[in-house]
Amino acid sequence: MKTHDNEQNGRKRLVIQHSVYYACAPAQGDTLLLALHGYGQTCERFLHVLQPLKAEGITVLAPQAPNAFYIKMPTRTVGFTWLTRFERDQAVQDFFAYMDQVVAVASQERAVPFRRIFLLGFSQGVSMAWRYALSGHVQPAGLIACGADLPPDVQPILKESSPFPVLLAHGNSDSIVPAQKTHEAEQVLRNSGFQPEKFLFPGGHEIPVSLLQYIADWMRRSGEQG
C-alpha cells in the first residue's frame, strides 16, 4: 500500500487493490474491439448490444467502469461511471492502468494474438476511448465514437499525434447529445490532420443494428487499408 500526501485540507491518497469487472465475447479472428460503455451502464448490457459483432470475427471486450452508484434509488438499480471531476487527472491515470491490464488478460486467454485493437466508446465512454487512444499505451487500429462530443482535454493533443482511422456515429434525433456535436468533432479532427468518416442514422442516443453492421464493414475496410 502507498500513501500520497495532499496538503489541501490534510487529505491523503491511499493506493489499494480494487476489484473491477469486464465482459467478453471471444471470436476466432485476430481483431479486438475494446468497448467502453456509457454513463450508468453495465458491461453485461453493453456486451449484449455489441454481441452481433462476434459473428464478424471480432472479439468484443467490454470493461465495466470502476465507480458504482444507484441510478434509481427506489429500485436500488446500480450503474457505473468512469470518472467525475474529483481528482480527474488521477482517475484518468488509474483508467490507463486498468485498460492495460484488461487487454493483457484478454490477450493471454487466447492462442492467437490480437493483430489489431480498435477502440469504441458510447456516450461517456467516448471521452475515455479518446484519452486511451492518445495516451501512448496502445496503438489503435481505429476509434469509433458513438453519440458524444470530442472532450476538450483531448483536442490540444490531436495535432501532436499520428492520425489513425476514426468513425463518428450519431443518431439524428439524439436528445441527450445533439448530433451537432459530432459535426463539430469532425471539423476539429480534420483541422488536426485526421480524416474521420461520419455515419448518421435515424434514431436517438443508442447503438442500433444498422450501426453495428456499418461498424463491422468500417473495421474491415480500415484493416484492408492498413
Average pLDDT of the residues in 47-61: 95
In contact, 155 and 186? CB cutoff 8 Å: no
pLDDT classification of 224: cutoffs 50, 70, 90: low
Would you state the cell numbers that stand for residue 225, as one nine-digit string? 487499408
pTM of the model: 0.91
pLDDT tens digit sequence for 70-117:
877 787 888 889 998 888 888 899 999 999 999 999 998 886 789 999
- Type and span of the H or E element at 88: helix 88-108
Is the domain 22-225 a CATH 3.40.50.1820 member? yes
Domain boundaries, the chain: 22-225
In contact, 62 and 24? CB cutoff 8 Å: yes
Quote the percentage of the chain above a pLDDT of 70.
Answer: 94
Q: How far apart are CA 33 and CA 222, in angstroms?
A: 13
- pLDDT exceeds 70 at position 121: yes
Q: How far apart are CA 123 and CA 174, in angstroms?
A: 11
pLDDT classification of 4: cutoffs 50, 70, 90: low
- pLDDT exceeds 80 at position 159: yes
Q: How far apart are CA 4 and CA 50, in angstroms?
A: 39
Rg of the chain over CA atoms, in angstroms?
A: 18
HSE-up (13 A, CA, CB side) for residue 54: 14
What pLDDT sits at residue 1?
45
Bridge pairing between strands 197-201 and 166-171:
parallel
